[in-house]
Structure 1
Amino acid sequence: MDDAPTPPAGSPADGAPGESPQARANRRLTEMLQELRVLQTGVQIVFAFLLGVAFTPRFAGLHDAEQDLYVVVLLLTVVAAAVLATPVALHRALLHHPDRPRILEVSARIAQIGLVLLAAALSGAVLLVLAVVLGAAAAVPIAAAVGLIFTGLWFVLPWSVRRRLSDPR
């Protein structure tokens, strides 16, 4: 989700030569919506899996804490789906609005929130499954490691790369 400051004119990330700020914002918004389509498919698959879990015979045998965790993960997943679909809804509702750069900025922020929710949902799903399979003692550190992997790859790495790319050394 590209919410970085607009690169200097003529830089490769700036787009085609002569591309207007409006055209660049349109292109970047379209690119972001494509990225979100890919994420939405994954979220929908996880959500479908979670919906099915509650109807398996083994679900009734889960401890109260595991059932509570299931509810939290299910809700995180559905909220992540809603948040990640919000830029699409904004795009549809504001299709002909002239302030595309602002729509892109808001959509990128919303998408980042969706990524945080998705990372939490996926980490929680790992915690739930591993708690049932391996027990809580093994599940907690593994799920924490998964959460750290998401944090590193989805947030720290892009921040670090963006920072280095804007460093004029």
Structure 2
Amino acid sequence: MSGTDGQRTARDETHEERADRRWTELMQEIRVAQTGVQIMLGFLLTVVFTPTFQGLGQTDKTIYLITVVLGSLATGALIAPVAFHRIVSGRNLKPHGVAWASRLTFTGLVLLLATLTSSLFLILRVATHDQYVPWLVAGVVAWYLCCWFVLPFWVRFRHASGDED
């Protein structure tokens, strides 16, 4: 069934009920990612005030600045759905809000991946000065990509029933 104009979907819910359910699910997902990125950004923001930071080379300081900017962008993207909802709430735009919030959340996850990659690269560079750091970071990034994107997309395409949910 189409789910528009009060019709029921395959889950036996109206278009509006589906939007409500998807919004609730999305907010639960965002809570997990938001908390992690906010804690990480909080720690990153304090690093510049430590004595060790002053002793870093220019390359490491540049990596740090990129990391902070990426963390800030990720935080913004993951908080944006809340502001979006607040601004469009009560205007019968929930299905559109869900779609945009989902896009912003996905963007936030990609930015979070970039922030984690940059943070790990900087920490391992400073801690070990080892030539294997890029390879270690690449391995971790590959793991994140598999867990966050490859596996879910594989399941989605392999087992999709055609009901867009």
What TM-score bracket applies, with the shorter chain setting the length? Answer: 0.7 to 0.9
Q: Distance in 1 between matches of 2:125 and 2:113?
A: 18
| Identical-residue share of aligned pairs (%) | 37
1:111 to 91, 105, 113: 105
1:82 to 76, 85, 91: 76
Moved over 4 A (4+): none
Decide whether the 8 Å contact of 1:127 with 1:143 is kept in 2: yes
Matched, 1:58 2:52: yes
Shift of 1:9: 4.2
1:37 to 26, 31, 34: 31
Deviates more, 1:123-132 or 1:142-151: 142-151
Q: Distance in 2 between matches of 1:49 and 1:132?
A: 16
The within-5 A match list for 1:89-168 is 89-135=83-129, 137-166=131-160
Q: Distance in 2 between matches of 1:53 and 1:167?
A: 48
Q: Give the corresponding residue for 2:20.
A: 26
One-letter identity of the residue aligned with 2:145: T
Deviates more, 1:149-158 or 1:110-119: 149-158
One-letter identity of the residue aligned with 1:78: S
Unmatched 5+ stretches in structure 1: 1-5
Cα RMSD (Å): 1.8
Q: Distance in 2 between matches of 1:150 and 1:25?
A: 29
Task: Call closer, same or farther: CA 1:136–1:94 in 2, change over 3 Å.
Answer: farther
More relative contact order, 1 or 2 (CA 8 Å, 6+ apart): 1
Decide whether the 8 Å contact of 1:131 with 1:138 is kept in 2: no
Query: What SS class does the counterpart of residue 96 from structure 1 fall into?
Result: coil
Decide whether the 8 Å contact of 2:121 with 2:134 is kept in 1: yes
One-letter identity of the residue aligned with 1:155: F
Shift of 1:136: 5.0
Q: Distance in 2 between matches of 1:30 and 1:9?
A: 18
Aligned length: 156
Unmatched 5+ stretches in structure 2: none
